[in-house]
Amino acid sequence: MSHAECDTPVVAQPTTTSRSRSTIHRRVDTYLQHLRLAHHDQLTSSIAIANTTDSIIHVDGIGKDVSDSGSESDNTSMGSSSSSRADVAPMSTADMQALQLCHNPSTARLPVVYSSHYNISFMGLEKLHPFDSKKYERVHQRLVDAHLLKPTDPHQPVEASPALLRVIHPVEYLKTLQSSMKVAGILEVPPVAMLPNSIVQSNALSPMRYAVAGTLLAADLAAKSMHQVPSSDSSSSSASSSSASAPSSSPSSHISSIRPGWSVNLGGGFHHCSATRGGGFCAYADISLAILYIHAKYPNIKRILVVDCDAHQGNGYARDKLDGVFNRAGIESVYILDLYNAWIYPGDHHAAQAIDHPIQLRSGATDREYLPKLRRGLSVSIEESRAQLVIYNAGTDCLVGDPLGQMNISAEGIMERDRIVFQQCLDKQIPVVMLLSGGYQKSNAEVIARSIANLKQSLNLWQNQHDHDQSSDVAPDSETDSSSKHGKKSKNKEEL
């Protein structure tokens, strides 16, 4: 789905008064009347409607639309632009080791990463997209309510800085995010184009930047429990030790033990964003950045396996692989196992060339074909990749009833899927970092919390003092409970 470029320079507005906020609401209401007449997927038509209303689109931060230069529009761009890789700014190993990614290294214990800043909200407009923008908060709260962790247990990431984002993104691409029109295309919420960019930055892009840092922090937590950080000098060693506390060194008083080699970021997984283009509700390439970050901090980690179980094809990091982003960084291999519905967005045939082990499924796929294919495919991928780290993109939009994933995987199927990935990785002594990625129902948060509870219990990821079976405390919603109808194994062909 392509995005129509705006030929007229936008007007910079440094502040938003109460009157202008009221004006914004009136403009949005007018626009929504038009929007109801058009299919929500027709982004180009919707943006055209916005341009023909009485509204003036205001963007803070810059006084011109910088996206026309070098822009590229096709069915995978989703309103983003393509830029040169010449102006990225790689960081040295010492710089990476000195990064401060964690707000609370003195109190964080579990290799679980979360920030209340993850949650997205802009005056209710986020509800125009099926994505549950409060999913991260709901998962965290369910885990706390079930006494699986305390509010202070997770590592709280900082917001990813411009310098850190420049490691993967050219400055030209980052400038396009100063256009509310561009961000509206990436988020697939056309009325966002009518908001001042200051609101878009603080309410949508800033939460994503926190999640980006969360992905890097989670990858570090998983890697450091099994790999040594090279200590070139004492200063870099001390700096790196404060960026993320070792998960098993000093457990909290209510945690008696933690199994090494795993981590979970309760956010992230922006797998549609590459270095030079955003799309599909993904504005920053956290997976590609995490790969560069881990190799820079742990130079001995040269082989990384990406396991993508989101219902949608992961085309962002795949495009970066084809563009040589990882090879130029000295990474030996980035092996991709992608299990996805081949009949839905993004249909990126170019990016598909980068997938080493594609498992293409049809709409309506159930546990019966899904789980055996994953089990076999993951075993083969681990052997072929000789991976030293696994990035697991654990999207739950394959859950039955999801309006975008269009698959029929039960809640129990999701839980078994996650267990398969964790068990195969941990049995092979390969650190694994889990990212939440997509999932577009309110029930997704419940399923994710139940799955983490199941991982804790079945794989002994950590033990609480006076531990007991707490997975039953995470009670299923009626919507979730009704989805658990599948689960038997059968053999199917790997491809369509």
What would the DSSP string read from start to end of 180-206?
HHHHHHHHT-GGGGGS-HHHHIIIIIH
Query: Which strands make up the sheet holding 333-341, listed edge to edge?
Result: 112-113, 262-265, 432-435, 389-393, 303-308, 333-341, 357-361
Rounded CA separation 374/309 (Å):
9
Whether the Cβ atoms of residue 494 and residue 377 lie closer than 8 Å to each other: yes
Looking at residue 490, its amino acid is: S
Give a yes or no: residue 53 inside a domain: no
For residue 204, count other CB atoms closer than 10 A to its CB: 26
Rounded CA separation 306/318 (Å):
10
Verify whether residue 254 is a known catalytic residue.
Answer: no
Rounded CA separation 145/51 (Å):
46
Number of structural domains found in the chain: 1
Angle (CA) 355 495 315, round 5°? 30
Give a yes or no: residue 495 inside a domain: no
- Please list the residues that pair with 195 across neighbouring strands: none
Whether the Cβ atoms of residue 193 and residue 111 lie closer than 8 Å to each other: no
Structure letter (DSSP) for residue 358: E
Give a yes or no: residue 3 inside a domain: no
Confidence of residue 245 (pLDDT cuts 50, 70, 90): very low
Confidence of residue 107 (pLDDT cuts 50, 70, 90): confident
Rounded CA separation 488/112 (Å):
31
Confidence of residue 413 (pLDDT cuts 50, 70, 90): very high
Residues 6+ apart with CB under 8 A from 181: 6, 10, 47, 57, 59, 65, 67, 79, 193
CATH number of the domain to which 180 belongs: 3.40.800.20
Whether the Cβ atoms of residue 287 and residue 326 lie closer than 8 Å to each other: no
- Residue 122: the pLDDT is 64
Dihedrals φ, ψ of 305, to 5°?
-110, 125
Give the pairing type, strands 262-265 and 432-435.
parallel
- Residue 121: the pLDDT is 76
Give a yes or no: residue 377 inside a domain: yes
Length of the chain: 496
- Residue 442: the pLDDT is 86
Element (H, E) at 235: helix 234-243
Give a yes or no: residue 192 inside a domain: yes
What region, left, alpha or beta, does residue 270 occupy, with left being phi > 0 and alpha being psi -120 to 50 degrees? beta
Greater confidence, 336 or 52? 336
Rounded CA separation 41/43 (Å):
6
- Of 147-156, 187-196, 273-282, 486-495, where does mean pLDDT reach its minimum? 486-495
Give a yes or no: residue 279 inside a domain: yes
Catalytic, out of 227, 272, 295, 312: 272
Give a yes or no: residue 86 inside a domain: no
The predicted-structure confidence for 449-484, as pLDDT tens digits, reads as follows 999 999 999 999 999 875 644 444 554 443 444 344
**Domain limits for position 231:** 93-481
Give a yes or no: residue 54 inside a domain: no
